A and B are shown apart, each in its own frame.
Chain A
Amino acid sequence: MVQARLRQTASRVITITSGKGGVGKTTVTANLSAALARLGKRVVCIDADIGLRNLDLILGVEDRIVNHIVDVVEGRCQLAQALIRHRAYPELYILPAAQNRDKTAVSPAQMIRIADELRLQFDFILIDSPAGIERGFKNAVAPADEVLIVTNPEVSAVRDADRIIGMIELLEKRPPSRLIINRVKAEMVKRGEMLSAEDVTDILSIELIGVVPEDETVLIAGNRGMPELNSRSGHAFMEIARRLLGENVPHTYHNASQGFFKRLTRLFTGSGTRQGSVFDE
């Protein structure tokens, strides 16, 4: 009982949301969960996208779902009976969404109850929010201690992120929000044809927690249903996880200025479309 109480104060509920669909919320949730588990934390991720579940597929547990979140809410099973343990990350569990129901099957109060029960057992509870600003979003942010806003360096995604940030500021609890900029192409940023991390942070005026480069291994990992943390994007997710744990990890994404010699070598070796440039310098 004492131990349970101690854990309750230490565990953190983090909701991953974006407003716009397709910016990579589920990918971020899956990879960040795996990264935190790899750092030795007990992690559970909740798929709050009822009716359009996908976190199970990205994490490769889709064939082991017995019960889901609506079964828990409606009392057909215990919470522990709906949790699926990840094969590769024994500290990582998944609470899947229902596929044959809609967002109204769960209320914000029920989400809070589920999260509070999970606090007793886990260090981190990550909630994958559905797109939009309606019920599904409200369910997902209701229990949040913190929010991670995922966006892409793209006008529509940035605008929707701003809207979501505004809505989170209106919540009673006002959980602090931090920004993840996903799918950044350093080469396009260099050419001045893509909003840089500085631009996006400047526009949205919230704290940046990480920049994830565009990386085809994300798609490949999704194909296999196995997060790949030893890739360029995986490296970025590990950094975000460490920042979540309070470590001061300097941002290593590419800045606008380049060293003279780097430019000189690039000048004679090619046009500089090297993929690895996000982590230059």
Chain B
Amino acid sequence: MSSFWERLLGRRNQVGSSSVAKQRLQLVLVSDRSELSPEIIQRMKDEIIAVISKYVPIAHDKVEINLEQRQRDNWLVADIPLLRNTQRNAPVQSSAESSTPEDA
């Protein structure tokens, strides 16, 4: 009977394969267009994070670095929050793998 109500209310299957297809395509096209493999992209992200944290403490758990498409251009978009002064008294993070400083 649930299908009766779903059909009446026009509810659509939210996990249909088309949404999976769209998601997968958007991901694969990012590496197709940039000619960077997902592995290289990950390595680049890790290195960017490592370089920045050499100079300034950053909130590692909030870092977001992504290749995005805007219209037909590729953008490397990075959101890298720096730690506030109070947080800076905590031990400085030196690598992307270290734990979050907020706990300190």
> Which of A's residues lie within 8 Å of B, judged by CB?
153, 155, 158-159, 162-163, 165-166, 169, 189-196, 199, 202-203, 205-206, 256-258, 260, 263-264, 266-267, 272
Contacts and interface: CB of A to CB of B under 8 A. Distances in A.
Interface of B: 4, 7-8, 10, 12-19, 21-22, 24-26, 28-29, 32-33, 69, 71-72
Closest 3 CB pairs of A and B: A192-B16, A192-B13, A205-B71
A107 B81 CA distance: 54
Contacts of A169: 72
A163 B32 contact: yes
Contacts, number: 64
A190 B24 CA distance: 20
Contact of A155 (B7, B8, B16, B24): B24
Given A162-B29, A205-B72, A193 B10 contact: no
B8 A267 contact: yes
A159 B8 contact: no
Contacts of A266: 7
25 contacts: A153-B18, A155-B21, A159-B29, A159-B32, A162-B29, A163-B32, A165-B72, A189-B18, A192-B12, A192-B14, A192-B16, A192-B17, A192-B18, A193-B17, A196-B18, A203-B22, A206-B72, A256-B12, A257-B10, A258-B10, A263-B7, A264-B8, A266-B7, A267-B8, A272-B7
Given A159-B28, A162-B29, A169-B72, 19 more contacts: A153-B18, A155-B24, A155-B25, A159-B29, A163-B32, A166-B72, A190-B12, A191-B12, A191-B16, A192-B18, A195-B18, A199-B18, A202-B22, A203-B22, A203-B29, A205-B69, A206-B72, A257-B10, A272-B7
B25 to A, nearest CB: 5
B12 to A, nearest CB: 5
Chain A interface, DSSP helix/strand/loop, else mixed: helix
A189 B13 CA distance: 11
Contact of B7 (A163, A165, A267): A267
A141 B84 CA distance: 55
Given A193-B18, A195-B18, A267-B4, A158 B25 contact: yes
Contacts of B32: 159, 162-163
Contacts of A206: 72
A206 B69 CA distance: 12
Contacts of A257: 10
Contacts of B17: 192-193
B10 A263 contact: yes
B29 A260 contact: no
Nearest to A163: B32
Contacts of A199: 18, 21-22
A200 to B, nearest CB: 9
A169 B33 CA distance: 12
Contacts of B26: 203
B1 to A, nearest CB: 12
A159 B25 contact: yes
A227 B18 CA distance: 31
Contacts of B13: 191-193
